[in-house]
Amino acid sequence: MKVCIYGAGAVGGHLAARLLANTPAEVSLVVRSAAAPVLRERGLTLRTEGREITGRPHHVTDDPATLPPQDLVVVTLKAPSQPAAARDIAGLIGRDGVALFAMNGLPWWWNHGLSDKGALDRVDPDGALWREIGGARALGAVVNSSNNVLEPGVIVHAGAKRWAVGEPDKTSSPRLRRVIDLLAAADLEAIESPDIRRDIWRKLMTNISGNPIAALTRLAGKDTVAVSALDDVAIKLIEEALVVAKAEGCDLTGEISAEAIARPPKGRFPGKPSMLQDVDAGRALEVEAILGQVQSFARARGVATPSIDVVYALLCGLDHALRLAR
């Protein structure tokens, strides 16, 4: 099985290392030009659970056109980078292949099988992903796994390693089962999701509070305990997102507590949220996928989101400042 990890950073590098160590898959990486020589020379090292997992990819390139058609393209690029890569991703997908999108927030393929509205306006504003790839060639994923790139090719993992994967049309297809089997063979907790959009909404309730607050304050989750007012902001963001999700047909109010997410009874996870990692590295932020598209849904449904509106504006300002610095 030919597998390409497109954007082998923290999450993609974690997955690639496990695939190389535990499966016969032919694993290729598409990475930034600066990282490619290092990964070719040293391969990948994953530090997890007190041990190291190493592997050498079959191919490492910054030019997707040099790779043959793939059975599975796992896209771990952050949402802001995906539209520009749409044509390259599409060119990698083999005749019977599929692209698995593992990202935070609401994905571009959301409307596939739901409506004829096409691409989401905030995530894929020019429709490049919808046009070049199309929802019929996409699978969705929700990844619960904390990873950080210590240096090129070295990933540190802590906590869960759960991947929930599902078809946008909620079917249990042969291609979906093949992907689940591959992830399970790679020693990941692979779950076939019967409703991947519901799982995405569920994870978003954590992302919409933890990521923006960490990015704006530069505080990791465990360090926000000293500022109780931040918990109040987190609760309002989650409560508003729950109302938007319900208006969109996904009622999570009976199973998700904003208070429990904002003030977890077992304590906050000590890792650094991905958006804070992006701020520290000066990278583009997942503003639209995590906040902007929720705001767009709210506008369409006539739902008021005052807290989301304020935090969204502040994050847009921070993202612009990072772009100016780059």
Q: Which amino acid is at 172?
A: S
Catalytic residue among 203, 246, 266, 272: 203
Enter the pTM of the model.
0.94
Whether 157 and 260 share a structural domain:
no
Residue pLDDT, tens place only, 105-140:
999 999 998 888 899 999 999 999 999 999 999 999
Of 153, 178, 194, which residue is a domain's last?
194
For residue 141, which of 205, 84, 189, 210 has the smallest C-alpha distance? 189
Q: Domain span at residue 244?
A: 198-325
Of 134, 168, 194, which residue is a domain's last?
194
- Of 8-12, 58-62, 240-244, which gets the smallest average pLDDT? 8-12
Whether 187 and 215 share a structural domain:
no
Residue 47 CA, chain-centre distance (Å), reads 20
Q: Which amino acid is at 247?
A: A
Q: Please say if 117 is a catalytic residue.
A: no
Residue 316 scores a pLDDT above 90: yes
Q: What is the DSSP letter of 49?
A: T
Whether 299 and 185 share a structural domain:
no
Whether 239 and 162 share a structural domain:
no
Residue 308 scores a pLDDT above 80: yes
Whether 213 and 277 share a structural domain:
yes
Whether 116 and 174 share a structural domain:
yes
Whether 37 and 176 share a structural domain:
yes
Give the per-residue pLDDT at 269: 67
Distance CA 319, CA 323 (A): 6
Where are the alpha helices (H) located in 94-250, listed in sequence order? 128-132, 174-185, 196-217, 228-247
Whether 40 and 130 share a structural domain:
yes
Whether 107 and 213 share a structural domain:
no
Residue pLDDT, tens place only, 242-256:
999 999 999 999 999
What CATH number did the domain enclosing 237 receive?
Answer: 1.10.1040.10
Whether 188 and 223 share a structural domain:
no
Number of domains in the chain: 2
Q: What is the mean pLDDT of residues 51-66?
A: 95
Residue 267 scores a pLDDT above 80: no
Whether 133 and 275 share a structural domain:
no
Of 133, 160, 194, which residue is a domain's last?
194
Whether 143 and 264 share a structural domain:
no
Query: Which 3 state secondary structure label does DSSP give 61?
Result: strand
Helical axes 293-301 vs 228-247, angle rounded to 10°: 50
What CATH number did the domain enclosing 124 receive?
Answer: 3.40.50.720
For residue 190, which of 22, 9, 53 has the smallest C-alpha distance? 22
Residue pLDDT, tens place only, 155-190:
999 889 999 999 999 999 999 999 999 999 999 999
